[in-house]
Amino acid sequence: MVTKRIALVTGASSGIGRDIARNLSRRGFRVILSARRENRLLELKEELVNAEIITADLTKQEECFRLYEEVKDKNICILVNCAGFGALGEFAETDLDNELDMIDLNVKSVHILTKLFLKGFKEKDKGFILNVSSSAGLMPSGPYMSAYYATKAYITSLTTSIAHELKEQGSRVYVGALCPGPVDTEFNEVAGVNFGVKSISSEYCADYAVKKMFERKTIIVPSLSMKAGVVAQRFVPRSVMSKITSEIQKKKLD
């Protein structure tokens, strides 16, 4: 029998998005996979039960709306906004076009899809939206990854604000943000970074994220060391945290 529980996962061609799609499929959801790389989506589709693919380049605003139009009548109950990338380097020297694409993907696509799906979820008074942010989105600044940190701060702030609105309204719709630290994915390659601390696996990150999503946790941080770091930085002056972050990022440039 075909399940009526349908999830849409963007950025599903690799890393956390791919493993969240796998997790939801194991839980009995029919998963719609979206990303730019059709060959990767086709490989994952073969692995999952009753999956569907929609290729889309979400750096383009019109593609975000096209994706929504293609799925809006499919009774989707979970949206996972996972598409995104980062870049390392001094702000004055990093490529502007690349950063504008990053803002379009990390911020605008998430903003558009969250707003469009949230309206329908609120009408039905049910549904889950998980926005993949980063521990970077919980920090005061990120020298040498300034644009990336800024995009993730936007997503974390947007998500927590929406979650508060929904709580005040007594809505049963869930909106949360996944804020992992270093994860062993292709992100590192694209951003050109080597993390100085131990990464968690994308499988662990995805499984933890889905579990906490269903537990309705608003901010999801999937490692004890990163949770400790997030708590500790609250007691450190912003200027000091910026210096610490700067030193960590500069090591990645070596």
Residues with a catalytic annotation lie at 148
Q: Half-sphere exposure (CA, 13 Å, Cβ side) for 100?
A: 5
Q: Is 141 exposed, middle or buried (0-12, 13-18, 19+ CB in 10 A)?
A: middle
The gap from C-alpha 175 to its chain's centroid, in whole angstroms, comes to: 12
The gap from C-alpha 59 to its chain's centroid, in whole angstroms, comes to: 14
Cα 246 to Cα 252: distance, rounded to the nearest angstrom: 10
Strand partners for 149: none
Strand partners for 132: 178
DSSP secondary structure of 113-142: HHHHHHHHHHHHT--EEEEE--GGGGSS--
Phi and psi (nearest 5°) for 144? 75, -5
Q: Please name the amino acid found at residue 136.
A: A
| Helix, strand and coil in the chain, % to nearest 5 | 50, 15, 35
Best CA proximity match to 223, nearest among 180, 170, 176, 164: 180
